[in-house]
Amino acid sequence: MEKQFNPFSLKNKVIVISGAASGIGRQCAITCSKMGAKLILLDLNEIGLSETLQLLENSDEHFSAVINLTDYNKVGNIISSAVEKIGRISGLLNCAGISTTLPLKNAKQEILDNFFKINVYTAYFLTQTVCKMGNFSKEGGSIVFFSSAAGQYGESGKSIYGMTKGALFSCAKSLACELSRKNIRVNSISPGVIVTPINQNLPHIADPELRKQTEALHLLGLGNPEDIANACVYLLSDASRWVTGSNLVVDGGYTTR
Ligand SMILES: NC(=O)c1ccc[n+]([C@@H]2O[C@H](COP(=O)([O-])OP(=O)(O)OC[C@H]3O[C@@H](n4cnc5c(N)ncnc54)[C@H](O)[C@@H]3O)[C@@H](O)[C@H]2O)c1
């Protein structure tokens, strides 16, 4: 029988997903496993990570590790063990992150340091480790940074979160130039608002009146984790083999205003 044609297949690909214990990262794990990928899942939330594993196709084929990704020096050993166990990496979703709504007057240096450490440095150093000799597939592959609509568009109280997401947006462009000779494509994705643990207690979602306003800013309403996971499958698959240095906006029309 003729094999079914599917340019979005992730069969024979090993994909690293940070932030896989919750929200979008968890959904990316579920969708990527359905598309045939073997996964290396990283998160500091042990319970959430094991719940994610149970939701996957062929859960025993994957590798998971509980790690605070700000412990940069521990990442190398974990990635080496994972590669030894399930094979060289051909994709990375830098999904781990935190958010806040904080006006300028309440900002403090420790808060900024923490945001840059978790949202920017962890993604940068995980990418550095994954790209080290012996870890990445010789055939190349695809890396995705999680920016946000807030990385390019303003909202009150979003300066700290937005700064970190803007940094990831520009990081992807320069790394796309640097890594193209290894056939590694680097892109960012910019979701609009999707209700997950990252924002469910923030004012724009928790306050019913503000939530209505947030919904109204999205022409197609708020998104689901699946909307982002499907876009990630495209960026990880060979269907996007000629796409690098791009920012894929998946925001229900939020940024067309
Ligand atoms: N939800 C949205 O509306 C939205 C919009 C735009 C961008 N994003 C981005 O998408 C990504 C995923 O967000 P989400 O909504 O799934 O959030 P989430 O809170 O549901 O998941 C984030 C995960 O990252 C993990 N994490 C945080 N710090 C970590 C660390 N130091 N080490 C290891 N793991 C750590 C958390 O434990 C959690 O499992 C984030 O980068 C976020 O900024 C989300």
pLDDT above 90 for 57 = no
| Within-domain flag for 200 | no
Ligand 1 center–CA 97 separation, angstroms: 4
Pick the residue whose CA is nearest to atom 9 on ligand 1: 146
The token pair that represents 129 in the structure block: 């480790």
Give percent above pLDDT 90 in the chain: 97
126 pLDDT higher than 90: yes
Residue 205 maps to a domain:
no
Q: Which is nearest to 158 in space by CA: 126, 195, 192, 124?
A: 192
Is the residue at 249 inside a domain?
yes
Structure confidence at residue 28 as a pLDDT band (50, 70, 90): very high
The boundaries of the domain holding residue 138 are 14-193+224-256
Please check whether residue 158 lies inside any domain of the structure. yes
The pLDDT score that the predictor gives to residue 257 is 78
pLDDT for res 3: 73
> For residue 48, which atom of ligand 1 is closest to its CA?
39
Inter-CA distances, 142 with 10, 93, 172, 175, 199, Å: 12, 9, 11, 11, 28
Write out pLDDT tens, residues 179-230: 999 999 999 999 999 999 999 999 999 999 999 999 999 999 999 999 999 9
Q: Mean pLDDT for the chain?
A: 97
Question: Nearest residue CA, atom 11 of ligand 1?
Answer: 95
Give CA separation, 198 vs 72, 96, 130, 136, 204, in Å: 22, 10, 25, 30, 12
Distance 96 CA to ligand 1 centre (A): 4
Say whether 254 is catalytic.
no
Q: Is the pLDDT of residue 1 over 70?
A: no
9 pLDDT above the threshold of 70: yes
Instruction: Report residue 4's pLDDT band, with 50, 70 and 90 as the boundaries.
Output: confident
What's the structural domain count of the chain?
1
CA of 197 to the centre of ligand 1 (A): 8
Range with the poorest average pLDDT among 54-58, 86-90, 164-168: 54-58
211-225: per-residue pLDDT in tens? 999 999 999 999 999
At residue 2, the pLDDT reads 60
Residue 8, in any domain of the structure: no
Going by CA atoms, what residue is nearest to atom 41 of ligand 1? 97
- What span, in angstroms and rounded, lies between the C-alpha atoms of 176 and 190? 17
Mutate to test the pocket of ligand 1, among 24, 64, 199, 247 (most ligand atoms within 8 A of CB): 24
CA of 219 to the centre of ligand 1 (A): 24
Domain of 37: which CATH number?
A: 3.40.50.720
Give the other-Cβ count within 10 Å of 60's Cβ. 6
Predicted local confidence at residue 46, as pLDDT:
98
Out of 71, 124, 198, mutate this one to test ligand 1's pocket (max ligand atoms within 8 Å of CB): namely: 198
Q: Is 134 left (phi over 0), alpha (psi -120 to 50) or beta?
A: left
Kindly write down the DSSP assignment for every residue of 203-214, as one continuous string: HHHHSHHHHHHH
